Amino acid sequence: MYSGPAMKPLLLESVKVETIWGSDNISKKRGYDKSYGSWWEISAHKKSANTIKNYDTDKNFYEFVMENEDDILGPGYTIHEMLRLGFLDTKDTLSIQVHPDDEYAMKNSDDFGKKESWYIIDAKPGANLVAGTTISDSELIRDGLEDGSVEKYLQRWEVSKGDFITIPMGMLHSLGRNILALEVGTNSDTTYRFYDYNRTDKNGKKRALQVKESFDVTDFSKEPEFIKAEEKTRRLIESKEYIIDEIYADENIELTLDKHFCVVSNISEDSTVIKWNNEDIELKSYDSMFVPYASKSINIKKGAHLLLSQPGKEL
């Protein structure tokens, strides 16, 4: 257990990304007039790092973590075990894409591999996403990609508010239109675009595909883990990469950080309060808080509806 001075939980400035598929649900909630598809709430990635709002520092979040991994992440935990969280807010479907594992990503993209999970904050009736394929024959899928019939091989899942799905490394996937999801994943920014519905960007150009890399890393036999919504406290996933719990706090909850950091995400429409070291910290609707290992403990107030994300690796 950490014995030094307690470190205050971090509030971070979102990294906003304009996309061709982005909607404006989060933009409107936060007072922006642009439609940003991606909002990286917690990102200590060397290519995309948050600004820290409640510390007097000129370092970005990646630099801040790298300066003292043991106290911030936990003894023995490194930037590899860091988690990356963000909102995906869609008015159109994302490209069909795939993420590599660590070995391929480090060799070819100077990055870590990516596993991710999506908690569906909201979805219009009939909304669906792609996760996996209906066949495992890579040559048939390659033929479908070449002749334009590949969409018939995509496995679609209808989703509703509160559903949860995990996308393993090496599986084709795509979030569909009219969905707001909170993504929790490993600390990677590497995506290989497999298929993009022949769309063009605002300049009339088709977006680049990474077909070779996609076939290199995709296992067409892989399937997602899909969990339907339930209004109760439950563990959504426990894996070597991360652990995610959905919490409906029917009483105050004391959370002790005796091994590593955690991330608290408010998935309610209402603000909630996290108490740390006798200080009340407001966590607004859809905001997240990074809680360093050196914070020692936090108290979650009764009535909160949260996602609690932690690294899965045991040291």
First to last CA, the chain: 13
Which residue stretches of the chain are H helix?
25-30, 61-67, 69-73, 102-108, 138-147, 211-217
Is 99 labeled as ligand-binding? yes
**Residue 193 is a catalytic residue:** yes
Whether the CA torsion 119, 125, 128, 134 is positive or negative: it is positive
Residue type at 129 in one-letter notation? L
Is residue 79 within 8 Å of 65, Cβ to Cβ?
A: yes
Is 80 labeled as ligand-binding? no
Return the SS3 of 292: coil
Return the SS3 of 294: helix
Rounded CA-CA distance 315/313 in Å is: 6
Return the SS3 of 130: strand
Residue 100 contacts by C-beta under 8 Å, 6 or more apart in sequence? 108, 109, 113, 114, 169, 170, 190, 192, 213, 216, 217
Which of 142, 156, 193, 235 is catalytic? The answer is 193
Please give the C-alpha separations between residue 168 and each of 114, 225, 280, 298, in angstroms, as whole numbers: 8, 9, 37, 31
Residue type at 288 in one-letter notation? S
Please give the C-alpha separations between residue 98 and each of 217, 218, 221, in angstroms, as whole numbers: 8, 7, 13
Closest to 78 in 3D by CA, of 253, 248, 299, 313 = 313
**Which residues sit in the known binding site for Zn(2+)?**
99, 116, 173
Active site residues: 193
**Which residues sit in the known binding site?**
99, 116, 173
